[in-house]
Amino acid sequence: MAATGQRVDHQSIAFFKVEVDGIEGAKFRGCSGLKSETEVFEYQEGGNNTSVYKLAGPTKAGNIVLRQGFVSDPALFKWRDEIHNADGKGYKRRNGAIVALGPDGKTEMGRWSFEKAWPTRWEMGEWDTTTGQALVETLEIAVERISRAK
């Protein structure tokens, strides 16, 4: 923690990568859904009409949404295909991490671990050759737990 009056600037994050058990990491350009939320359970005790107790309910993690430019390595798509072909049984949940990298593309700036993940959605962006924009793949991963590792 910074001392009083000491300036602490935010860190510049230039790249991200995903590490998944059994799949080589892939760099991507966007990540969202890194969140953990605990539901609030409100309880009013009989005879106490002035306040409501707020208790911790179950905690759930958000789905992680990864976006990357089109890459020819099909490893993440193959993982998604396992789910599609498993008919709800026999697919492998995996653990992994989202790693924030510095401007050099190598220095690790932060790490968020996830557990018991499986890809719930894959999407290829719009194909329009007139715009000159790169294709973007989206992979959404359902996770049971997210924690800050570094």
84-124 tens-digit pLDDT: 777 767 778 899 998 888 888 888 888 999 999 998 888 88
- Cβ atoms 84, 122 nearer than 8 A: no
DSSP per residue, 49-68: -S--EEEEEEEEEPPEEEEE
Number of domains in the chain: 1
pLDDT at residue number 30? 82
Handedness of CA 42, 48, 51, 56 (dihedral sign): negative
Nearest to 119 by CA among 55, 23, 30, 48: 23
In a domain, 96, yes or no: yes
Handedness of CA 107, 113, 91, 123 (dihedral sign): negative
47-58 tens-digit pLDDT: 888 899 999 999
Asked if residue 9 has pLDDT above 70, the reply is: no
Output the domain CATH number for residue 139.
2.30.110.20
pLDDT at residue number 143? 95
Q: Which residues contact 29 (CB under 8 A, 6 or more apart)?
A: 15, 16, 67, 68, 69, 136
Tell me which of 31 and 4 has the higher pLDDT. 31
In a domain, 4, yes or no: no
In a domain, 54, yes or no: no
In a domain, 48, yes or no: no
In a domain, 3, yes or no: no
In a domain, 141, yes or no: yes
In a domain, 120, yes or no: yes
Global pTM value: 0.74
Q: How far is CA 141 from CA 14, 55, 83, 87, 89, in A?
A: 22, 29, 11, 17, 17
Confidence band, pLDDT 50/70/90 cuts, at residue 139: confident
Which domain, by its residues, includes 140? 15-33+62-148
Listed range (25-34, 96-105, 117-126, 133-142) with the worst mean pLDDT: 25-34
